[in-house]
């Protein structure tokens, strides 16, 4: 099986003991953390503020990805970069001016990514793919944790992986949604090299350390 990294999504963590949950996941061997920001408009849920990112940053030196599931990602880039984000990920569906937003993220010093929803064609990011550090393929419809993985997203992963390798691009290919010990292998074999896992780390009932071992 190809190599991969795990990003622990704090959406499923216990917010009352967030720092401890972050420390446990780091000790268990995750590679980075994933923070979802939701505005109640682009997705129905409300997500995390820059202060949550500050808590994670104070607790770990691992990279932090901030996933902006918001209508206007551009207005949030500076605040989350200042809070300690390592990488900012915006949605292609919510941003009409991706080149401008990519430049805006670069100016903050953060790495940059673009996410696409399950029903969105990867063609929408054709022009910007060479400019990205990561492409995030949503393998559920965004907004809620604990959803079932959508296997129809796998051909999209395969096509993107083929292009990345054909053009020798350096961007990672990330998947988010329904990733667990049963679905991870299919995602990796289809081309993903970065798995976002929330419920599969924080809500299995086995404990964080054993859950991360199961994913590995």
Domain that holds residue 176: 5-215
Output the known binding site for a divalent metal cation: 34, 36, 67, 176
Residues 35-84: pLDDT tens digits? 999 988 888 788 899 999 999 999 999 999 999 999 888 889 999 999 99
DSSP state of 164: H
Q: Which residue among 65, 111, 133, 176 is the active-site one?
A: 176
- Please state the domain count of the chain: 1
Output phi, psi for 126, to 5 deg. -55, -45
CATH number of the domain within which 126 lies: 3.20.20.70
Is 65 designated active site?
no
Question: Exposed e or buried b for every residue in 184-194, given b needs 16+ CB within 10 A?
Answer: bebbbebbbbb
CB burial of residue 164 (10 Å; 0-12, 13-18, 19+): buried
Output the known binding site for substrate: 9, 67, 143-146, 176-178, 198-199
Displacement of CA 168 from its chain's centroid (Å): 22
Round to whole Å and give the CA distance between 111 and 116: 17
Is 111 designated active site?
no
DSSP state of 149: P
- What pLDDT, on the 0 to 100 scale, is given for residue 43? 84
Single pTM value for the model? 0.95
Residues 194-203: pLDDT tens digits? 999 999 999 9
Output the known binding site: 9, 34, 36, 67, 143-146, 176-178, 198-199
Q: Which residue among 14, 31, 36, 65 is the active-site one?
A: 36
CB burial of residue 128 (10 Å; 0-12, 13-18, 19+): middle
Round to whole Å and give the CA distance between 14 and 22: 10
- Bridge partner list, 6: 195
Answer yes or no: are the C-beta atoms of 101 and 77 closer than 8 Å: yes
Residues 87-97: pLDDT tens digits? 999 999 998 88
Q: How confident is the model at residue 205 (pLDDT cuts 50, 70, 90)?
A: very high
Answer yes or no: are the C-beta atoms of 37 and 12 closer than 8 Å: no
Helix (H) or strand (E) holding 194: strand 194-197
Pairing of strands 87-91, 172-176: unpaired
Residues 130-181: pLDDT tens digits? 999 999 999 998 766 667 999 999 999 999 999 999 999 999 999 999 999 9
């Amino acid at each position: 099986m190809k190599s991969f990294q795990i990003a622990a999504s704090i959406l499923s963590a216990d917010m009352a003991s967030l720092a401890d949950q972050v420390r446990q996941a780091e000790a268990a061997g995750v590679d980075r953390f994933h923070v979802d920001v939701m505005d109640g408009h682009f997705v129905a849920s409300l997500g995390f503020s820059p202060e949550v990112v500050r808590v994670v940053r104070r607790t770990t030196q691992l990279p932090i990805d901030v996933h902006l599931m918001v209508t206007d990602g551009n207005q949030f880039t500076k605040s989350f970069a200042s809070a300690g984000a390592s990488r900012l990920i915006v949605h292609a569906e919510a941003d009409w001016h991706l080149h401008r937003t990519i430049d805006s993220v670069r100016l903050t010093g953060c790495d940059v990514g673009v996410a696409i929803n399950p029903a969105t064609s990867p063609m929408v990011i054709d022009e910007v793919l060479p400019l990205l550090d990561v492409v995030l393929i949503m393998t559920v419809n965004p907004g809620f944790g604990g959803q079932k993985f959508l296997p129809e997203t796998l051909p999209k992963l395969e096509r993107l992986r083929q292009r990345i390798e054909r053009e020798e691009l350096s961007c990672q290919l990330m998947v988010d949604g329904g990733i667990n010990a049963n679905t991870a292998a299919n995602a990796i074999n289809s081309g993903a090299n970065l798995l976002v896992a929330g419920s599969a780390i924080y809500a299995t009932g086995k404990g964080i350390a054993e859950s991360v071992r199961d994913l590995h």
